[in-house]
Amino acid sequence: MDLLIIAVLGILAIAAASQLSDRIGVAPALILLVGGTVVGFLPFIPAVELDPQVVLEGILPPLLYSTAVSISTINFRRELVPVAVLAILLVALSAAVIGAVLTLLVPGLSLAWAIAMGAILSPTDAVAISIARRLGVSQRIITVLEGEGLLNDATALVILSSAVSAATSGKASVGGVLGGFALAVLVALGVGWLVGEVSLRIRSHVTDPTVDTVLSFTVPFLAAIPAEHMHGSGLVAAVVAGLITGHRGPRMLPPAHRVASRTNWHTAELTLEGLIFLVMGLEFFGVVERVDNSDLGVRRAVAVAVIAGLVTVVIRALVVAPMLKLLSHRTARWAVHWEENEEAIHQFQNRCSAIVRGEAEMPQVPWDRRRLSRVQRKLRREPSHESIARRARRLSSRVRRRGADLDYFAAKPLRSREGAVIVWAGMRGAVTLAAAQTLPTTAPHRPFLLMVAMLVAAGSLTIQGLTLPALVRVVRPAMAGPADDEEKTAVVSLLVNAARDAVTEDQELPSRSVHDVVSTAPGDPPTSGATAEMDKSPSPAQSGDNLSPTPEQHILLRRERSDVLLSPAAVARAWTDPTWRHDELAPVREHALDMIRAQREALLDAGDEGLYSADSLEHALDRLDFQEIMLTSEPH
């Protein structure tokens, strides 16, 4: 009963912190951390200690999976170079430098144990990225920070394991560390990809959204547990499964399943995040008590934590600064390369279009001769027009993706302003705390090291988290904003063309249903295409009975010469309106569903090529999902 009461109080505290954060402008994590620390020091509250395996195996996999599902895969691919630098090179360098510093500050601490402690203090925390997101900085900064937080755990934990092994047995080596890291990543990639693909195929056959949500809660553990048993990184496996789910889910799962799963995962994410920081605060008193009774004392722990925290920031700045210069140089080099081949690229695209129509042979890729030779060899083995056209479409898509990537880098460069935010937003958190608690009991000065880790994590979250808004105001980095009018027009045009293609492929719309359901009220305004009313369509929550328009206000179809174009949004509203005769709407509803699905495929293809921003595509996909949910709901 006591445990139940504590759990209920903890959940209420998490909810209260989330509500309070909006009023005072402080992230819920900081409120829970401070609140837990204050409660932990109350005399009638016993010392709290959480098993680190609960955090590493029970809390972090679903949290990282949830973040990976929601991240834009096209942006993640674009930022893979800075993510790799921060998640691998920076963690390894930080572990080595912090380890060397700690050997000078902590008496009796060998280099191996010091490097283990450096590995504990090196990784940033994906949970803490919510603080930066709330400030509205550009999506490119958020993607780099999220990618780093998703992948740096594997590097840190492999270095920690190797350093502990060297300290206890003296058998670790640089080659062993590199081999262990490669094994952990490769196993995680394979297991995560397999679990992501298989789980999506199974979930695609589930008809109940509730059951699908339950299955989705098992996916991060289905990826993490086997990967750990195969000496891989369970956290990276959960991330890979999440990336696969987020990328392929819109093509394989019904909208109702994805909306329900997303809502429930947000609830789970809020609870797990809050639990980590609340327990971190509650644990602090017990650690302080043990250190106070040791030889080193609390004051030395505070001093060591301050120095270690400063070292992490300095090393991060020293790595980020040259990284940004290299990224800028790469973008400039790509721009010159693209400009030099601009005419050849234009001819290449036209030639690919002619190949698809069967009017030309395979063109040469302007900047990739080696890949061209491989493609031509494959084409000689597969001489059919279908295979040639398929490969031409792929090559054309690759060229468009390269051009979109270049536009993305040029429009949103990572300059020193953005670099300052990336440096200061690299906060430590749950991974540091959980990894510190995995230190064996034989480690020298274990309570002291645990307190240093907690102080660095709590200090970075508090100091950097509270001062990050002021830093953003001072340096003024690129901020996230709505899509420009030109991009909105391009997305609408893409949807209209996809709807027209769907109509062209399926011209057999029953004429009786057309005359029965089309509004002929003379005061109705004309539509401007198949999706003219999409942007005005309300979400299901807005379509209450008191807002439902009358049948005379609906325009479901529009004749344009010999074509009949539907407005899926208007059909969706009519389907949820009890005043309509649903038996007459049924044929038109099926046609509208085909149009919506064709529009979704066009949006996802554009997303794979990176033609539009992730926010614009997500907004359009959400509206299509709501329309399909309305059309597939039971009629009143």
pLDDT tens, residue by residue, 517-559: 544 333 333 333 333 333 333 333 333 344 344 444 445 655 5
Report the alpha-carbon distance of residue 438 to residue 343 in Å, rounded.
59
Report the alpha-carbon distance of residue 467 to residue 91 in Å, rounded.
24
* Cβ atoms 15, 280 nearer than 8 A: no
- The pLDDT score that the predictor gives to residue 369 is 54
Which segment, 213-217, 399-403, 489-493, is predicted with the most confidence on average? 213-217
Alpha helices in 482-534 (DSSP H): 485-505, 511-517
Report the alpha-carbon distance of residue 413 to residue 410 in Å, rounded.
6
pLDDT tens, residue by residue, 433-471: 888 888 888 888 888 998 999 899 888 888 888 898 899
pLDDT tens, residue by residue, 295-347: 788 899 999 999 999 999 999 999 999 999 999 999 988 888 888 888 888 88
Q: What is the average pLDDT across 10-29?
A: 85
* Cβ atoms 422, 320 nearer than 8 A: yes
Report the alpha-carbon distance of residue 386 to residue 397 in Å, rounded.
16
Report the alpha-carbon distance of residue 223 to residue 241 in Å, rounded.
7
- The pLDDT score that the predictor gives to residue 41 is 84
Q: What is the DSSP pairing of strand 563-566 with strand 557-560?
A: antiparallel
- The pLDDT score that the predictor gives to residue 505 is 58
Tokens for 174? 């640089």
What band does 353 get if pLDDT is binned at 50, 70 and 90?
confident
- List the Cα angle 291/292/296 in 5-degree steps: 65
Tokens for 116? 């283990």
- The pLDDT score that the predictor gives to residue 381 is 53
Looking at CATH, the fold of the domain delimited by 2-41+49-329+415-475 is given as Na+/H+ antiporter like fold (1.20.1530)
Does an H or E element contain 560, and which?
strand 557-560
pLDDT tens, residue by residue, 202-214: 999 999 999 999 9
Of residues 594, 592, 593, 596, the one with CA closest to residue 624: 596
What band does 417 get if pLDDT is binned at 50, 70 and 90?
very high
- The pLDDT score that the predictor gives to residue 73 is 86
- The pLDDT score that the predictor gives to residue 506 is 55
State the virtual CA torsion across 268, 271, 272, 274 in degrees, nearest 10: 150
Query: pTM, whole model, 2 decimals?
Result: 0.82
Of residues 218, 102, 231, the one with CA closest to residue 162: 231
Q: Measured over all CA atoms, what is the biggest interatomic distance in the chain, rounded to whole angstroms?
A: 90
SS (H, E, C) 264-290: HHHHHHHHHHHHHHHHHHHHHHHHHHH
pLDDT tens, residue by residue, 118-133: 999 999 876 667 777 7
SS (H, E, C) 345-368: HHHHHHHHHHHHCCCCCCCCCCCC
- List the Cα angle 418/420/421 in 5-degree steps: 65
Q: How far is CA 219 from CA 198, 243, 470, 540, in A?
A: 10, 12, 39, 29
Q: What is the average pLDDT across 11-25?
A: 86
SS (H, E, C) 145-163: HHHHHHHHHHHHHHHHHHH
* Cβ atoms 150, 239 nearer than 8 A: yes
Phi/psi at 42 (5° precision): -65, 140
* Cβ atoms 367, 336 nearer than 8 A: no
Does an H or E element contain 565, and which?
strand 563-566
Amino acid at 295: D
Report the alpha-carbon distance of residue 555 to residue 565 in Å, rounded.
11
Of residues 34, 27, 130, 141, the one with CA closest to residue 78: 141
Report the alpha-carbon distance of residue 609 to residue 615 in Å, rounded.
15
The answer to whether residue 618 scores a pLDDT higher than 80 is yes
- The pLDDT score that the predictor gives to residue 560 is 45
SS (H, E, C) 17-81: HHHHHHHHCCCHHHHHHHHHHHHHCCCCCCCCCCCHHHHHHHHHHHHHHHHHHHCCHHHHHHCHH
More confident residue, 42 or 144: 144
* Cβ atoms 569, 588 nearer than 8 A: no
Of residues 583, 584, 587, 591, the one with CA closest to residue 565: 591
What band does 294 get if pLDDT is binned at 50, 70 and 90?
confident
Gyration radius of the chain's alpha carbons: 28
Average pLDDT, the chain: 81
**3-state percent breakdown (helix, strand, coil) of the chain, nearest 5:** 75, 0, 20
Of all residues in the chain, the percent with pLDDT exceeding 70 is 83
User: How many residues in total does the chain contain?
Assistant: 636
Of all residues in the chain, the percent with pLDDT exceeding 90 is 28
- The pLDDT score that the predictor gives to residue 424 is 93
SS3 at position 479: strand
Tokens for 551? 């049948």
In the chain, residues under CATH classification 1.20.1530.20 are: 2-41+49-329+415-475
Tokens for 12? 């209420």
What band does 137 get if pLDDT is binned at 50, 70 and 90?
confident
